């Protein structure tokens, strides 16, 4: 059962709250923090004085707009970039990237690398990941001790505890406990996250007005992924990262999916499925391993030019996505959707059939009011989400230790 609140949790939680307020607002004054947190000025004063003393926050120049006002000018509080650093590792199909990010969220250094994830042996894949991290540590400019957290993201299913990759389309291997491996290797806390969840976190930081408490990020790529934020919290399954939107059933006994089953949404809307339909290869054709972004763009161009199998392929993708979203909306009610990935650039071809399908479902009662946004480039989003994930971990678990250990106050996405 949930547990009582001990007296010392109070300060820790309010510390975390202040740090979160600064991370969100950028350069808020103490008065502004008091307003957003609902705590008294005295408390904010005491806490921020502590945090400055510990080198977590720093005072910045009084904000420009405020100097027009009378009275004592506000002093902005900001995150001290040197308080800590975090590392992000993003593993996607044939591509591995790492970045070092300071406490204020700026990228310090990065490295990217192509590799053949589909055919690599298990050990080689793990080795590449540890090696790329190690190379960052060897950078003489980087203070190794400052690295407080490593966040990995991978396309595929991870476990709820964010320790391991359970299954991924980018490698034949399963159940790799990347988080444990990196922790053992470098002695730094690490987590293994799902790529679409990180996209959702990044969207929330990028555009908190549109993506606030309830929204959906859908990755339209070789496969179909989803990151879901409900009531301000990242939605995950009970055992895994969950949210396997791409593998909801669209057509019982339908098209062959990359996962080996039939009729999944992905088997109609993934790049390989669009490709298969556009090339009229039949729904039983084995999914191809990869379709280049250029090929997909050519497909979209062809579909825009004339009515033919390409256009029909996108229509089928839209239909599958629409019925899938309709079923999802039946469960969670409609919410804003962000379409991310290379096929999001072809969303104009997908949207009509999608809206038509969704209008025929219970969740689509107000289908014209459901709004879609597109973002063709998923990698920067994933990296950004990872960074925020790692940074907020440092905020909460390291700079306000114990605050999140019990109960659930103040938990929120990222």
- CA 255 – CA 286 distance, rounded (Å): 10
Structure tokens at 210: 């549109």
Nearest to 79 by CA among 140, 12, 24, 132: 24
Site string for its own copies, 200-229 (x = CB under 8 A): -------------xx---------------
Among 8, 10, 107, 301, binds its own copies (CB under 8 A): 10
Site membership for its own copies, residue 2 (CB under 8 A): yes
Give CA 74 to chain center in angstroms.
34
Site membership for its own copies, residue 288 (CB under 8 A): no
Task: Work out how close the CB of 357 gets to its own copies at its nearest, in angstroms, rounded to a whole number.
Answer: 7
Q: In the complex with its own copies, which residue's Cβ is closer, 211 or 345?
A: 211
Residues 395-414, interacting with its own copies (CB under 8 A):
406-412
With CB cut-offs between 5 and 8 Å by kind, which of DNA, its own copies, none does residue 42 bind? Answer: DNA
Task: Work out how close the CB of 404 gets to DNA at its nearest, in angstroms, rounded to a whole number.
Answer: 15
Q: For binding to DNA (CB under 7 A), which residues are involved?
A: 4-8, 10-11, 14, 29-31, 38-49, 62, 67-75
With CB cut-offs between 5 and 8 Å by kind, which of its own copies, DNA, none does residue 332 bind? Answer: its own copies
Number of residues counted as binding its own copies (CB under 8 A):
65
Task: Work out how close the CB of 259 gets to its own copies at its nearest, in angstroms, rounded to a whole number.
Answer: 6
H or E segment and range at residue 9:
helix 7-25
Contact by Cβ (8 Å): 155, 165: no
Among 28, 32, 43, 165, binds its own copies (CB under 8 A): 43
Nearest to 91 by CA among 148, 64, 129, 40: 129
- CA 295 – CA 307 distance, rounded (Å): 18
Site membership for its own copies, residue 251 (CB under 8 A): yes
Phi/psi zone of residue 218: left (φ > 0), alpha (ψ -120 to 50 degrees), beta? beta
With CB cut-offs between 5 and 8 Å by kind, which of DNA, its own copies, none does residue 330 bind? Answer: its own copies
- CA 217 – CA 190 distance, rounded (Å): 24
Distances (CA, A) of 4 to 38, 400, 403, 406, 410: 22, 18, 13, 8, 16
- CA 152 – CA 270 distance, rounded (Å): 24
**Which residues lie near its own copies (CB under 8 A)?**
1-7, 10, 13-14, 17, 20-21, 24, 36-39, 43, 213-214, 230-231, 237-240, 242-245, 247-253, 259, 261-262, 264, 319, 323, 326-328, 330-335, 357, 360-363, 406-412
């Amino acid at each position: 059962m949930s547990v009582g609140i001990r007296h010392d949790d109070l300060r820790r939680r309010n510390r975390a709250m202040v740090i979160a307020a600064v991370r969100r607002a950028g350069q808020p004054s103490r008065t502004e923090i008091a307003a957003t947190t609902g705590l008294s000025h005295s408390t904010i004063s005491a806490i921020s004085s502590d945090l400055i003393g510990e080198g977590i926050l720093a005072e910045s120049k009084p904000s420009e707009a405020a100097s027009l006002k009378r009275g004592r000018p506000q002093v902005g509080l900001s995150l001290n970039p040197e308080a800590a650093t975090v590392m992000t590792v993003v593993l996607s199909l044939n591509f591995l990237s790492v970045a070092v990010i300071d406490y204020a969220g700026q990228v310090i250094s990065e490295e990217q690398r192509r590799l053949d994830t589909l055919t690599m042996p298990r050990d080689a894949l793990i080795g590449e990941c540890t090696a790329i991290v190690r190379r960052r540590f060897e950078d003489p400019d980087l203070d190794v001790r400052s690295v407080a957290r490593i966040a990995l993201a991978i396309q595929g299913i991870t476990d709820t505890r964010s320790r391991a990759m359970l299954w991924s389309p980018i490698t034949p291997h399963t159940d790799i406990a990347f988080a444990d491996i990196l922790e053992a290797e470098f002695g730094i806390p690490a987590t293994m996250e799902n790529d679409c969840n990180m996209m959702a976190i990044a969207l929330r930081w990028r555009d908190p007005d549109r993506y606030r408490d309830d929204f959906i990020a859908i990755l339209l790529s070789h496969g179909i992924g989803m990151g879901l934020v409900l009531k301000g919290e990242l939605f995950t399954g009970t055992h895994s990262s969950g949210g396997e939107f791409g593998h909801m059933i669209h057509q019982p006994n339908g098209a062959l999916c990359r996962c080996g089953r039939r009729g999944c949404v992905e088997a109609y809307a993934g790049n390989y499925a669009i490709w298969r339909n556009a090339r009229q290869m039949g729904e039983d054709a084995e999914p191809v391993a990869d379709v280049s972004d250029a090929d997909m763009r050519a497909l979209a161009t062809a579909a825009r030019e004339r009515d033919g199998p390409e256009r029909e392929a996108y229509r089928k993708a839209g239909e599958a996505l629409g019925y899938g979203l309709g079923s999802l909306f039946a469960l969670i009610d409609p919410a804003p959707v962000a379409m991310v990935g290379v096929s999001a650039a072809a969303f104009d071809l997908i949207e009509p059939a999608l809206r038509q399908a969704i209008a025929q479902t219970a969740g689509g009662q107000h289908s014209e009011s459901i709004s879609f946004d597109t973002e063709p480039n998923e990698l920067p989003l994933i990296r950004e989400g990872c960074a925020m994930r790692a940074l907020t971990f440092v905020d909460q678990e390291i700079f306000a230790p114990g605050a999140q250990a019990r109960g659930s106050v103040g938990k929120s996405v990222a």
